[in-house]
Structure 1
């Protein structure tokens, strides 16, 4: 999910990030933690996120974070986002380049003092599939699957809607729809855990991570 958020934020042709860099970094950190919650590896207990199962998932970046959570003392969601966001983007970019999804275009100046890199898309397969899921979530009447609902909720929390190619009234409508997806999935407290189709332990983790992103960015929820 962190990689999906990164691909969403980087322009395919220019290879440059769109929107808030801090917002993206926070959303990516949350995305890894959401993956761990979906896999049953972490839980939210006593206002902290802790490891419940340290068994590797088989995904390198996700397992690196799992190892950190398992080895460290419990921390609040806000603290984990700040601890994890530094270096995560570079790690994900390197992995995507190694897999041939992106390429690293080094535009470092000749004197070597200004380091500039672009990451245009080489293989659009992953991004196309992910964008299609988000488009269906925005336009279809039925509720999306839990992964797509979580992704949509993180996009709204980090105010990443401009990466969907929208502007004006469409941008505002998209933000409200993405927030409503999170509400209906039970991530934000608008729907009881019993009414949600998402496991309560997962919904709880996603809900507290959304609040942590909004607190860090100073973007309180708007009325739907």
Structure 2
């Protein structure tokens, strides 16, 4: 079974080349951090509301990546911190998060590592799929819940919010389908608190980048 972080990263990989697709600024970093917080919440280790994120159980989960995050959350803080604050902190403190999630997918036999050189000089690493069963399953699950009138489960709402924050639904639906289903995607994306915080952070960064570029246009 794949984690939220692993599913998001699978959708972000080009099926043919194994390269990460172009995404909004910092979207993947925030989505992965948010996915880990959600996993901890579902494991009963943290609780969140509109104001604060609280650790409710310090016991290790047995998952090295989740326990790394949990240890950071349990460090003494001068004042309670919001979920959005923790997202930003995790993105800053865990710059290798994407590589760690990719390594897990390699260990699970979902991806393989392929090192190449561009122009025989520049080294690049790609992660082609060994088989596409897992990514097809994620896409099918998203299609089933969004293209219906069903109320998503908490797990499905989480995934929808994170995929939407990364602007990855064009990997699931055709342009015509997205025009029809866009309002429902937006509605469902607001059902999960941490997912909303991820989307807000990505949107704020994207607007900042666009504003910084305006003087140069």
The answer to whether the superposition gives a TM-score over 0.5 is yes
SS in 2 for 1:43: strand
Task: Give the corresponding residue for 1:215.
Answer: 204
- 1:3 matched to 2:6? The reply is yes
SS in 1 for 2:150: coil
Please report how far the alpha carbon of residue 9 of structure 1 lies from its aligned counterpart in structure 2 after TM superposition: 0.6
Task: Give the corresponding residue for 1:80.
Answer: 86
In the alignment, the residues of structure 2 paired with residue 144 and residue 100 of structure 1 have an alpha-carbon distance, to the nearest angstrom, of 29
**Is contact 1:77–1:212 with CA below 8 Å preserved after alignment?**
no
1:50-61 to 2 correspondence within 5 Å? 50-61=54-65
1:151-170 to 2 correspondence within 5 Å? 151-164=159-172, 166-167=174-175, 169-170=176-177
Please report how far the alpha carbon of residue 116 of structure 1 lies from its aligned counterpart in structure 2 after TM superposition: 0.8
**Residue 133 (structure 1) aligned to one of 135, 141, 147:** 141
User: Structure 1 residues 9 and 82 mapped into 2: Cα distance closer, same or farther (>3 Å)?
Assistant: same
**Is contact 1:7–1:127 with CA below 8 Å preserved after alignment?**
yes
Structure 2 residue runs of 5 or longer lacking an equivalent are 209-217
Please report how far the alpha carbon of residue 209 of structure 1 lies from its aligned counterpart in structure 2 after TM superposition: 4.0
In the alignment, the residues of structure 2 paired with residue 205 and residue 152 of structure 1 have an alpha-carbon distance, to the nearest angstrom, of 12
Task: Give the corresponding residue for 1:182.
Answer: 189
In the alignment, the residues of structure 2 paired with residue 216 and residue 72 of structure 1 have an alpha-carbon distance, to the nearest angstrom, of 28
Task: Give the corresponding residue for 1:23.
Answer: 27
Please report how far the alpha carbon of residue 135 of structure 1 lies from its aligned counterpart in structure 2 after TM superposition: 0.9
Higher relative contact order (CA closer than 8 Å, sequence separation 6+): 2
User: Structure 1 residues 218 and 35 mapped into 2: Cα distance closer, same or farther (>3 Å)?
Assistant: farther
User: Structure 1 residues 50 and 115 mapped into 2: Cα distance closer, same or farther (>3 Å)?
Assistant: farther
In the alignment, the residues of structure 2 paired with residue 27 and residue 142 of structure 1 have an alpha-carbon distance, to the nearest angstrom, of 25
**Residue 67 (structure 2) aligned to one of 57, 60, 63:** 63
TM-score computed with the length of structure 2 as normaliser: 0.79
**Residue 44 (structure 1) aligned to one of 26, 40, 48:** 48
Please report how far the alpha carbon of residue 160 of structure 1 lies from its aligned counterpart in structure 2 after TM superposition: 2.1
**Residue 104 (structure 1) aligned to one of 106, 113, 117:** 113
State the aligned residue count: 199
